[in-house]
Amino acid sequence: MSYTAKPLAAQSPQQHVSDARETPTVLAIRRVSPAVVNIHGQKTVRSSAAGMAGATGPDSFRQVNGMGTGVVIDPRGYVITNYHVVEDVNDIRVTLHSGETTTAELVASRIRNDLALIKVNTDRPLPTIPRGTSSDLMVGETVIAIGNAFGYVHTSTVGIISALHRDVPVNETQDYQDLIQISAGINPGNSGGPLLNINGDMIGVNVAVRVGAQQIAFAIPIDQVIDVVSEMIEQHYNNQLATGWRTTGGPREGDGITIANVSASSPAARGGLKPGDRVVRVGSQSVDDRLEFVLAMLNVDPTTPIDLGVDRDGKRFDLSMTTNTRRVESLSVSELAWSVIGVQAKSVAEPTMRRLNSRMRTKYRGGLYITAVRPDSAADQQGIIPGDVLLGIHGWQTSNMKDLAGILEHPDMQKGPRAKFYLVRREQTLFGHMELAAQPTAKLR
């Protein structure tokens, strides 16, 4: 059987109308929508009135329904969203573009940048978002935002880039830097959703609106997102695996990821890796950039050799490398606090604690006065600063260093990377979640 093309002149008027309506905006939304997911779940929040009063009773907290948006960056179900979308959500629910609803787990987060990576529980590959770059954005160019606005899933709005490199303060401990300002409509629930250029490439993550203003919204540039998320993932797998390599390479540096340094007698050295090698495959997964590389490393089993595809001086070959789990170290409480949490601390004097409790109407037995914070540590990433008083971690009070030792040794602290903490700053009780470093392998002496 043969087919004859229909002459253009013979097409119906309706065909011409359809072609004219299929604009670049339509095509961009159609291209990206399958990789956009809706996130929802209940979270516990502290009421502002209770927080100001320093209350700690059951009326100090309330349950609210949270919602937001995420974008699939890996077919195995890894999704980028804003940290505030999943903060304090114990049961993260995700609705896929197909309408299927499933659960997800938090893998890594960074409150300072308001970004999080979650893993959707799925048994089939998911469509991934096409990534662009934010390095060549132009004021005035058309942008498209997609999100779960007020619970209306996959709401699309169009606007322009109003300005670039905006710094937006949020509170004393957090501010957004180098944001894209847009005129596209952003509403509650849009957080974590993609900002697209007219080609349908993701150029940012929608994050905030200016309260009381119209057509003033902001997005985190995609290059910043990829850098931060890659660092988050790298820290996550480095907490469990000892590889002995240090890598370099940006999100668009080309094919693969460069090995910058190899430690002597390390798994990388024993596997035959050398500085300057470019890893282009991890297991069966090809890697084109740093994000793909660290995502591939997330599923590495330390008991099984890793097959690597390497480019060295233009020649491709395969290597096999066996990683090690992190060596168990014997540390003092102070050393462990600096290593795992990233703080130096000392007990608050009893008279000071009594005055603090009297002013705030709390009954904490004591607290730990933070004297120093290690840069890029779990504490630093959560905005903890010298002068804060740490009251508790994971539901236990930190009245003194002995309490802290018991917390860090507790089996519950070995089960996951997140630990909820409470602290006092300027007579206000604040809380957040820390992703503890090297916790599975450190012990006290």
pLDDT level of residue 18 (50, 70, 90 thresholds): low
Q: Is 376 a catalytic residue?
A: no
Q: What is the pLDDT of residues 124-137, one digit of tens each?
A: 999 999 999 999 99
What topology is assigned to 329-444 in CATH? Pdz3 Domain (2.30.42)
Tell me: pLDDT of 346 over 50.
Answer: yes
Q: What is the pLDDT of residues 160-180, one digit of tens each?
A: 999 999 998 766 556 788 999
Yes or no: say if 125 and 167 are a contact pair by the CB < 8 Å rule: no
What would the 3-class secondary structure string for the chain be?
A: CCCCCCCHHHCCHHHHHHHHHCCHHHHHHHHHHHHEEEEEEEEEEECHHHHHHCCCCHHHEEEEEEEEEEEEEECCCEEEECHHHHCCECCEEEECCCCCEEEEEEEEEEHHHCEEEEEECCCCCCCCCCECCCCCCCCCCEEEEEEEECCEEEEEEEEEEEEEEEEEECCCCCEEEEEEEECCCCCCCCCCCEEEECCCCEEEEEEEECCCCCCCEEEEEHHHHHHHHHHHHHHHHHCCEECCEEEECCCCCCCCEEEEEECCCCHHHHCCCCCCCEEEEECCEECCCHHHHHHHHCCCCCCCCEEEEEEECCEEEEEEECCEECCCEEECHHHHHHHHHCEEEEECCHHHHHHHHHHHCCCCCCCEEEEEECCCCHHHHCCCCCCCEEEEECCEECCCHHHHHHHHHCHHHHCCCEEEEEEEECCEEEEEEEECCCHHHEEEC
Catalytic residue from among 191, 230, 339, 399: 191
Q: What is the pLDDT of residues 182-200, one digit of tens each?
A: 999 888 889 999 999 999 9
What topology is assigned to 142-224 in CATH? Thrombin, subunit H (2.40.10)
Yes or no: say if 362 and 416 are a contact pair by the CB < 8 Å rule: no
Tell me: pLDDT of 47 over 50.
Answer: no
Domain 241-325, CATH among 2.60.40.10, 2.30.42.10, 3.40.50.1370, 3.40.605.10:
2.30.42.10
pTM (2 d.p.): 0.69
Catalytic residue from among 40, 74, 84, 403: 84
Domain ranges of the chain: 30-120, 142-224, 241-325, 329-444
pLDDT level of residue 352 (50, 70, 90 thresholds): confident
Quick check: do 30-120 and 329-444 share a fold?
no
Yes or no: say if 427 and 360 are a contact pair by the CB < 8 Å rule: yes
Helix 290-297 and helix 222-238, axial crossing angle in degrees, nearest 10: 30
Q: Is 156 a catalytic residue?
A: no
| CATH superfamily, region 30-120 | Trypsin-like serine proteases (2.40.10.10)
Q: What is the pLDDT of residues 65-113, one digit of tens each?
A: 678 999 999 999 999 999 889 887 878 999 999 999 999 998 888 877 8
Catalytic residue from among 74, 88, 114, 388: 114
Yes or no: say if 151 and 189 are a contact pair by the CB < 8 Å rule: yes
pLDDT level of residue 376 (50, 70, 90 thresholds): confident
Q: Is 191 a catalytic residue?
A: yes
346: how many CB neighbours lie within 10 A of its CB? Answer: 12
